[in-house]
Each structure stands twice: as C-alpha cells, then as structure tokens.
Structure 1
C-alpha cells in the first residue's frame, strides 16, 4: 500500500477544534486515506456516508440536541461524500462550535458543491487539503527511484490513480470505466450538465490539445456549441478536479500575451482514456504534450502535498517567445522549459530575463526530473 505524504499534515491538525476537509477527484483514495488516518489515532469513531439516503435525511435539519444524542460516546465523526448532505455547512458549524471534543473529518469529491456549502459557514473553523492521484514523490518513497525510472512510460500513458498503480495489468479497462462514469458522476448529477454528449466532446477536444493555449471561441466552433456553454462546462471540469488551467503571466513586456490560458489534466491516464489512445510512446506524435502535462501536474501535486503556496503561469509574447511553466513565490520567479529529451535545444528567452528580476531557470527533461518533483529549491 502506498502511504500518502499528506498523512502527517492531517495528523498534526486533528483535535484543534477545527474540521478537517479532504477534497479531490473521485476514485483517488480519499476514503482509504481517512481510514489510514483513523488507524493512527485509534479513537472512537462514528462513520457515516453522504451517499446513504438515511444519513442525508438524518441531517436534513441538524440541531444541537439531535447531535448530542448521535455523537455520545464518540471522539471522531467521519463524514464520507459529505457534499451529498444538503445542510453540510450548518452541520459542521454546529459540531465545531458546540462539541469541541469531537473531531470532524469530511471528504468531498466536488469542490463546487462542498466548498460552496461550507466556506462561509466554516470561516476560521476548518483545515483543507486536496488529495490527488499518487505523486511521483510518493511512488519513489514506496518503491524506489529505479523502479519509477523503469515505469515512466507506464505513468505517462496510464497515470497514477491508485487502482491503476495497483493493477497495471488491467489499467486500460479501469481507466475507460473511470473516464466514462466515475469521474463525472457529480457533474452529471447537476442540472447544469444537460448535454452529456457535448460535455464529452469538450473533454476530448481539450485532451487533444493539452498544453496548448485554449481559445474558447475556436473550441466552441469545433464542438458546435455556444461559447458561454463551453466556458461553463470547462469551469465545472476544473471544479470537479478533472483539469486545471495556467493563466498567462504578464507585467513588464509590451507584447506579452495577457488573457489566454493553457489547460492540463490532473492525470495523464484520463487524457489517454478520453482520446482512446493507449499506444506506446514510440507510436505516438504527442509525447511532448504528455510529458508536459505529466511534469506540470506532478509539480502541482508536490506543492499541494507540502502545503506550498505558489502562483503558476505560462508566458508567451506575440513574437512566439515562450516559457512552458512559471512559478511565482513572493517576489521570486522560477522559469521552466520542459523537454522530453536532454538533447533538445531549449533556453529561457532573454526578453524575459531582462524584464524580470529574481528569476531562477531550469530546463527539465526526463533525465533530471527528480529534484523538480521532490524539492522546493530546484
């Protein structure tokens, strides 16, 4: 079993009179994570699941008297799939405020549901953490560096969802199932998704241009939909932890691109499942895009796992000077060019270096990715 690196973060934040909220995509191992956490603290725990209709009815109108009876004799309340409970924000607020000896741990697959319901109610009353598919750092720690070197092509094609890592022999079948149903379960339950076929077209179109700048007008034409619908669906995909975007960085250079953004997926396996392309790297023409998505998503995992705050961008000018990835921490900038092969020519544009101070630069290839994915001071 791969031990999650965020387990220590979670342990240190228990029993501080705050709820612990664990977000992330479906099938990423949130329940398993909390179960491992509970084993380490060994406290009397009440386990409830928001998918259970009886649980939802029980908390339809939460009140302190009812909760006192329910929580008697327990030290921990674990609410799995908490976003399914209609009054989840009020419920958690009452417990945190009135039952200071009870630790609440809640998981949620849908940021747009759970965050919206708890943010205002739980201001100053919660810790949050995002759990994503296994990271490179976690897999290296679980196995070893050489094993991950050997499995690099597998990671680029099949990704690192727990079920995939633990059963590579059936990776293709499980990824198709994940991409076709589980991953979007929360989205399809919403009224906003009233055209599933269009939704799938948008996801596939984004997967086919991963790492490229997204023009919503062009994307809308491609999928034969209006631009506002496309923008809404992409926003929902971000809130459901399927994909994320990098905005353009701009400041001192007159011809910088300012408004565009690039789209990436949290997991390479989803890209390939959506496009139905599980060919080996030798038989593909999108290795560069897969490699870029892998590195940038893995760097994102590293930042989340270490609770590091950094703004993330790409940079380009109208003269086609560009930088694949920028990371801004305070006044410091990390500029990264991403290349699959160490033999490929790459450099950070002088225009950028002359315009901005406190810039460190890196050319990341498969030969030197270790520090970029495991170390802040790359």
Structure 2
C-alpha cells in the first residue's frame, strides 16, 4: 500500500532506497517522458494536477473545479487527464445510476495505477500508523488489484461507484450482464456495515459485501 507494485522494488530492502527509486520513476517518467508524448509544455501544471487528484482519491472530481484551482480551461484539464490515462498513470470510475434524480453520475472518481507513484507525488512515504489517508490508500489498492483480477480471470463487467445526493454511497459496483454486485472497502472492520437503505430499496437483487484486511485476498486473487 505504501510503495506500490513496481517489480524492481524487490531489489531494495532499505526504506530510503525504495523512496529514492519511486522519486526517480516520478521525475524520469512522469515529468519527462510524458511531457514528450503529446506536446505538454507545462510540467508544473501537470504535476499540480496530479497532486490534486492524489489528494482526492476515492472522491468525485470536477474537471471544471480542477481547472479553476489550476488556472486552466476545462478542456485542458480534460486533455491532461486523457493523456495520463493513456500512459497508465490514472484511471477513472464513473457513477452508477438507474435513477438520475437521486444518484450522482456527473463526475468521476480517479485512481492511480500504483500507490507508490501516488505517494511519491504527495511526498509521503510514512508508515500506515502515522498516516491520515489509510482509507484512500486501501481503496486505491483494492481498485487496481480488482481490475487486474478481472483482466486475467476474464471477468467482463463494468465498474462504477454509487452515491446519492443525500450522501449514501458504495465504493465499488460491478455490473456483469444481469448481475449487480456492490462492495464496500474497510481497512479495519469493527462491525459489518449494512448496505445503504437507498441502495437496498433501488437494487434489491444486488449482492453486497464488505472487503477488509481479513478477506481481501479472495477478492483480488481468487
């Protein structure tokens, strides 16, 4: 969850060496090679965009609001995000809905393909017991690993999050044919939460499970 999944990291046993490797990846790949792909000229803006996304993992992101914070047009933000998706730095998840009046679908949630890159961008490699963003790291990690599992297991489904305007939400929704599966992510599980009432009422046929440190391997490995 802290250093991500780059295979080369296995060569390093020292914490500082792992940090240095990921900072090198960020500087040599993110802020150099990516700039050459699509004629992006402003590396500072790209880095600032990545930092904003990094601090909003698991939350809906408005491209218009990002543009206002960065002093860029919405179209430029959209182009940068599209580029970062094409080079496998970021991916997005849209909102699930069959009732547009109550459910939020306008904005997407963005995740990093690698937690280590995300932590390098925000310059935070603290241990989990010293962090305030364990929930975000857990959600990002599970989202990426689940997509890998879907790919090699040939599970062909659409992935979403779900949230209503009165703040009821589910972290991960899978739609596979006529099957609907809902998952809540909890790093530490004190008691099993119930599915949001609005979800149960709208989608009584859907399954609902909580993914936590005690059962996550079955969900991402099988």
Q: Give TM-score, length-normalised by structure 1.
A: 0.56
Secondary structure of the residue aligned to 2:2 is helix
Q: Distance in 2 between matches of 1:218 and 1:189?
A: 26
Q: Do 1:252 and 1:356's aligned partners in 2 also have CA atoms closer than 8 Å?
A: no
Q: Distance in 1 between matches of 2:113 and 2:186?
A: 19
Deviation of 1:190 (Å): 2.9
Out of 34, 44, 53, the position equivalent to 1:197 is 44
Q: Residue 160 of structure 1 corresponds to which residue in structure 2?
A: 5
Counterpart check, 1:225 vs 2:72: yes
Output aligned runs, 1:247-286, within 5 Å: 247-252=94-99, 254-286=101-133
- 5+ residue gaps, structure 2: none
Out of 303, 307, 311, the position equivalent to 2:154 is 307
Q: Residue 127 of structure 1 corresponds to which residue in structure 2?
A: none
Out of 8, 12, 25, the position equivalent to 1:178 is 25
Deviation of 1:361 (Å): 1.1
Q: Residue 236 of structure 1 corresponds to which residue in structure 2?
A: 83
Q: Do 1:331 and 1:358's aligned partners in 2 also have CA atoms closer than 8 Å?
A: no
Q: Residue 165 of structure 2 corresponds to which residue in structure 1?
A: 318
Which structure would you say has the larger Rg?
1
Change (3 A) 1:315 1:359: same
Out of 163, 178, 194, the position equivalent to 1:331 is 178
Q: Do 1:333 and 1:360's aligned partners in 2 also have CA atoms closer than 8 Å?
A: yes
Deviation of 1:259 (Å): 1.4
Change (3 A) 1:191 1:296: closer
Deviation of 1:364 (Å): 0.9
Output aligned runs, 1:284-303, within 5 Å: 284-303=131-150
Q: Deviations over 1:206-265 (max 9, x none)?
A: 111111110112211222222211111011101110010100000146311121110001
Change (3 A) 1:253 1:224: closer
Q: Distance in 2 between matches of 1:326 and 1:219?
A: 26
Q: Deviations over 1:162-211 (max 9, x none)?
A: 11133242211110011112245542113431211111110111111111
Q: Distance in 1 between matches of 2:73 and 2:192?
A: 40
Out of 85, 93, 106, the position equivalent to 1:246 is 93
Q: Select the structure with the greater relative contact order (CA < 8 A; seq sep ≥ 6).
A: 2
Change (3 A) 1:309 1:227: same
Deviation of 1:312 (Å): 0.2
RMSD between superposed Cα atoms in Å: 1.6
Q: Give TM-score, length-normalised by structure 2.
A: 0.93
